[in-house]
């Protein structure tokens, strides 16, 4: 009975903590500008683009053990799909894998994890390179100062996309000084011609 009581108290505490976190998140989100909300939504979209998912149940996976003919490990799914292009292959992925356009060893099923990861990073890189130019400049500028996006771009060797965003480096400097309103910072930098010291005076 004591153990059950302790477990109930722990469960109640966890639920209260989660409710508090949810309320804080909602309040924080509501306080953001429309532009900041759009940037957050796009950030999540990019993060999801970077994830590897089963084409049937959309469960995330990251493990690879050599054979590119995969079977989804999520309960009740058991989809058979290609580890290279992530295509759903029906009852057996082996025939597709042998002919997959991304397979570096035609008619083979096995590659090293390093080779597989290079292929996956190449696919991610292409997706992001196609997606990034479609974003409105203000959203690109905002994302260029986001730590998560900067890490993704750095890992994929796409730092040049950050450099293409207007005032990306200056925005990082202003954030480091404690400024948080992206819209106001961009406006000030625009008026100051990118000069950080002058932008600080305007802010």
Answer for the pair 19, 26: CB distance below 8 angstroms, yes or no: no
Cβ–Cβ under 8 Å, residues 96 and 82:
yes
> Which pLDDT value is given to residue 4?
65
Q: What is the pLDDT of residue 190?
A: 73
Lowest-confidence segment of 8-12, 23-27, 28-32, 160-164 by average pLDDT? 28-32
Burial 124-135 (b: 16+ CB within 10 A, else e): beeebeeebeeb
Burial label for 150, CB within 10 Å (0-12, 13-18, 19+), is middle
State the alpha helices, DSSP H only, in 70-112. 94-99
Residue 94's pLDDT band, with cuts at 50, 70 and 90, is very high
What's the rounded mean pLDDT across residues 116-121? 93
Q: Has residue 128 got a pLDDT over 90?
A: yes
Reported as a single tens digit per residue, the pLDDT across 35-81 is 778 888 999 999 999 999 999 999 998 778 889 999 998 888 999 99
Centroid of chain to Cα 91: 31
SS3 content of the chain, % helix, strand, coil (to 5): 60, 5, 35
- Alpha helices (H) in 132-202, listed in sequence order: 137-143, 147-155, 159-164, 168-176, 182-191, 196-202
Tokens matching residue 57? 């149940």
Alpha carbon distance 108, 99 (integer Å): 9
d(CA 183, CA 158): 25
* pLDDT score for 102: 94
Average pLDDT rounded to a whole number, residues 174-194: 80
Q: CA 46 → CA 4, 32, 43, 49, 118, distances in Å?
A: 43, 20, 5, 5, 19
Say what the pLDDT of residue 199 is.
Answer: 87
Q: How far is CA 197 from CA 19, 25, 145, 176, 180, in A?
A: 42, 33, 18, 13, 16
Q: What share of the chain has pLDDT > 70, as a percent? A: 88
Average pLDDT over residues 8-30: 68
Choose between 47 and 7: higher pLDDT: 47
d(CA 45, CA 63): 22
Q: Please give the model's pTM, rounded to 2 decimal places.
A: 0.64
């Amino acid at each position: 009975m004591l153990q059950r009581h302790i477990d109930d108290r722990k469960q109640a505490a966890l639920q209260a903590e989660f409710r508090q976190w949810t309320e804080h998140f909602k309040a924080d989100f509501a306080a953001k500008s429309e532009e900041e909300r759009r940037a957050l939504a796009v950030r999540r979209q990019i993060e999801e683009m970077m994830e590897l998912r089963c084409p049937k149940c959309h469960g995330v996976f990251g493990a690879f053990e050599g054979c590119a003919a995969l079977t989804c490990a999520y309960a009740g799914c058991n989809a058979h799909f290609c580890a290279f292009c992530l295509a759903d292959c029906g009852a057996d992925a082996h025939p597709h894998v042998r002919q997959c356009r991304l397979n570096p060893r035609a008619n083979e099923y096995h590659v090293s994890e390093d080779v597989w990861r290079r292929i996956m990073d190449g696919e991610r890189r292409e997706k992001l390179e196609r997606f990034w130019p479609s974003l409105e400049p203000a959203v690109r500028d905002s994302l260029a100062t986001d730590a998560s996006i900067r890490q993704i771009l750095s890992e994929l060797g796409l730092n040049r996309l950050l450099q293409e965003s207007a005032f990306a480096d200056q925005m990082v400097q202003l954030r480091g000084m404690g400024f948080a309103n992206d819209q106001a910072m961009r406006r000030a930098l625009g008026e100051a011609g990118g000069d950080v010291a002058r932008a600080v005076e305007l802010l």
